[in-house]
Amino acid sequence: MRTIKAIPSKSAAHRALICAALAESDCAIICNVGSRDIDATRACVSAIKSGSSEMLCGESGSTLRFMLPVMGALGRRGEFFPEGRLAERPISPLYEELIAHGCTLSPKGQVPITIEGKLRSGEYRIPGNVSSQYVSGLLMALPLLAGDSSIAIEGKLESSNYVDLTISVQERFGIEIQHEPSGFKVRGGQRYTAPENFEVEGDWSNSAFWLAAGAIGSEPVCCTGLAAESVQGDRQIADILRQFGAEVEISGDPIKTASVTVSPARLQGTTVDASQIPDLVPVIALTAAVAEGVTRIEGAGRLRFKESDRLNSIRTVLAGLGADIEYSETGDGLVIKGKESLTGGRADSFNDHRIAMMAAVISARCENKVMLTGSEAVSKSYEDFFSDLAALGLDGNLERI
């Protein structure tokens, strides 16, 4: 059996770093992971503490979308410098809501993205089918305002587990958020109070690739340090792999340090609604590519606005390696007819960390080598990914070029 410890959750780390920066006392954030996205948030919270207006947010959508409303709530000028595709990714309707509540922002498409003025309390309206990061950013900012505020969610909130994670981290820093039938109510005048330290829990999103490797490989993979009862939505990968027919065993403390072991089995196609778990789609797709029958991945339209057009990237890479994969009729998902193995060949990461990881893991079920270009994209979230892949003995059919 192959065993690996989960790296800290990137999603939880973003939130903890920002909450700690807003607290009056110091808090040690325990998060030992190499990630360009986390480095971007660290740089921005350092700028808050030093009084700088320069926000080097890199390619991190979380950093930009969280820090914009926070700077507005602080009444501070911020100059955000996005890199890569981030400058092209949407920030509406957060952009319009910040302007409607007292802030001035630079014209859309202009770099740097600047914000000035003081955010006002009141009612904010966010459609549920756009990025949940807008909601999380407002939830972190609005408690700092003098008056009470509300966030009305129009329609169903997708990726709601990421908002639950935000609220969970805020609770550790003494902030109360009230759920309402239509959204959230946020009491103004609250103060962030720091715990002595905050240890970031294990990351389900990146660990999902190792668990999938156990399902499609030749021997079990055990991932330690995961909280089975975490509010991270991507813990659903355990149930999804069971849907495919894999053997999944969870042992240990389900709240703190559980171990999750996935063993190979005869996999069968299934149907997955990805509207709440968009980051798992590359993992689901690679598993489906070598599962018998047809897998349908639905509700994944928002993937077109990730680091790459991720629906297209997944389809292009897996098809190039020999998978039978097409867009769904609605265009918001994928239809995959599984094969015993793929042929292999050349794959490009599209400068997308999750696409690079997908290609690397599926190489174990390819007849010929997978020659991966753009592998450095993994440093966005997991700098040591390829070292860990090698330590697990899963890189034998992979060549990085």
**Residues carrying an active site annotation:** 279
Q: What angle do CA 389, 248, 358 make, to 5 degrees?
A: 35
Instruction: Report helix, strand or coil for 394.
Output: coil
Q: What are the structure tokens assigned to 164, written together?
A: 């639950």
Give which of 10, 6, 298, 274 is closest to 133, Cα–Cα: 10
Beta partners for residue 341, in sequence order: none
* 123-127 and 183-186 beta bridge pairing: unpaired
Q: Which residues have CB under 8 Å from 174's CB, separation 6+?
A: 190, 191, 192, 193
DSSP 303-347: GGGSSS-HHHHHHHHHHHTT-EEEE-TTSSSEEEE--S-B--EEE
Write down the residue that tokens 């954030």 correspond to.
29
As a whole number of angstroms, the distance between CA 305 and CA 91 comes to: 11
**Cα dihedral 316/131/163/250 (nearest 10):** -10
DSSP for 2-19, please give it.
Answer: EEEEPPBPHHHHHHHHHH
Contact 274, 298 (CB under 8 A): yes
Cα separation, 216 vs 81, in Å, equals: 40
Query: Given the DSSP bridges, would you call strands 334-337 and 345-348 parallel, antiparallel or unpaired?
Result: unpaired
